[in-house]
Amino acid sequence: MIGRDSRIVIGGVGVAGGFGCGVAALEQALRGGEVRPGRMTLPMPDGPVEIPAFMSDTTPLKDFIPLRTLRRVDHFSRLALLGAHLALADAGLPEAERAGLGVVIASGHGATGITFAFQDSFINDGDICASPTHFANSVHNSAAANISILLGATGPSLTVTQFHLSVPSALLAARQWLLEGRVERVLFGAVDELSRLTGHYWHRQHAHFAGIPSPLHTGAETAVPGEGAAFLLLSRAQDADAPGYCTLDSVTVGRKLPPRPLAPPVGLLVLGADGVPETAARYAAAAAGSRIACYTPLYGSMPPGPAFDIASTALALRSGSVFATPGGSSCDFPATVVPGGTPLGPGPAGILTLDDDDGHALVMLGRIRQPA
């Protein structure tokens, strides 16, 4: 049964990516406007190859979970656990209230590192030598399972994979769980890793752009791959313990571009454009005439990108003003890049995600009105 108050509140944010770890690091990156990509080394038959990449360090996870407990947890699930812990800590949710927590995970690729290590073990040593630990980490719901077990979250858990649209598709489920009253809170997170496999794919399929990504200039590929986790603690407004960052007003996922101008009108449209040529023209067409921002140059190109976009927009809505788009306020299509520091009006902010086919998603976030 869906209640009268259908507003969902984002009460906590936990992020880890190439910019660092935690909300403060993301906010610092948003205010600084630049994060330099690191390097990823890939073993190749003719010697190692380096590609530019936004890599994420999971070392801070040891502040939440003992190393011994983590020894069977792969990099993918460590990223997810770090994002999950940071979101709960940010929301200040006591351990005693985690029991009924629902867990919804979005991932475009899943645990590719451990899955292919498991398959390699079959090929190299025979199926009798396949590692049971690798197998446990390779299953589809592994990150959600690790989070549920290690955080003591005994509510339902779900993993949704729809490549570029994984985040909005998973958000639909999370929102529905809350509206139906199935759970009081959902720990929603998006995660993907840059494994040797995905790094190798990027090396073969994409340009090795070594600078700062410039996704609002559509003429050349400027994408840099990224990895990381972005988690949100969601609850119904009526159950929220604190005002939170913003409201999650609606999520739409479809196969046609949304009509322009967007209804309801958005004060800010945050684009998931990431410098990949396949989607650049579609973003330009969809955003024409809008007041836009784009923060992907701070965390790179990856399927969880929209969750980082949501986290960045949530920070802007809480602060009341727009963060500058990294790389300046110019773009090569007819849209207005909103300058940093511009006050956000009362209207909602939209996060637009397009895939490389004809799919799109629009997530609408609203400002929380402070009591007079």
Interaction site with another protein (CB under 8 A): 67-68, 70-72, 125, 128-133
Closer to another protein at the Cβ: 128 or 263?
Answer: 128
Q: Which is nearer to another protein, 62 or 260 (CB)?
A: 62
Our CB check for another protein shows the closer of 72 and 260 to be 72
**Least separation in angstroms between CB 183 and another protein:** 30
Nearer to another protein, 70 or 276 (CB): 70
CA 151 to chain centre: 20
CA distances from 15 to 91, 140, 229, 312 (A): 13, 22, 6, 10
3-state DSSP call for residue 368? coil
Which residues, 6+ apart, have CB-to-CB distance to 57 below 8 Å? 16, 21
Q: Tokens 């009924």 label which residue?
A: 100
DSSP code per residue over 279-301: HHHHHHHHHTTSEEE--GGGT-B
Rounded to 5 degrees, φ, ψ at 205 are: -105, -20
Copy the structure tokens of residue 36.
């330099």
Both structure tokens of 251:
């999520």
Q: Please tell me the chain's helix, strand, coil percentages from 3-state DSSP, rounded to the nearest 5.
A: 35, 25, 40
Contact (Cβ atoms closer than 8 angstroms) between residue 9 and residue 236: yes
Q: 196-205 vs 112-125: helix axis angle to the nearest 10?
A: 100
* Residue among 66 and 343 whose Cβ is closer to another protein: 66
Closest to another protein by CB, 44 or 122: 122
Min. distance of Cβ 231 from another protein in angstroms? 24
Min dist CB 69 to another protein, Å, is 11
208 to 119, 200, 237, 281: CA distances (angstroms):
28, 12, 45, 21
End-to-end Cα, the chain, rounded Å:
32
Least distance to another protein, CB of residue 121, Å: 8
Residue 71 vs 255, nearer CB to another protein: 71
User: What is the smallest separation between the CB atom of 260 and another protein, expressed in angstroms?
Assistant: 51
Nearer to another protein, 137 or 162 (CB): 137
Alpha carbon distance 12, 14 (integer Å) = 7
C-beta of 148: minimal distance to another protein in Å?
A: 18
What is the sign, positive or negative, of the torsion defined by CA atoms of 72, 76, 81, 82?
positive
Cα separation, 332 vs 42, whole angstroms: 34
- If you search the block for the tokens 């529905």, which residue do you land on? 176
Rank residues 128 and 372 by Cβ distance to another protein and give the closer one: 128
Q: To the nearest whole angstrom, how small is the minimum distance from the Cβ of residue 133 to another protein?
A: 6
Least separation in angstroms between CB 285 and another protein: 48
CB of 280 to another protein, least distance (A): 41
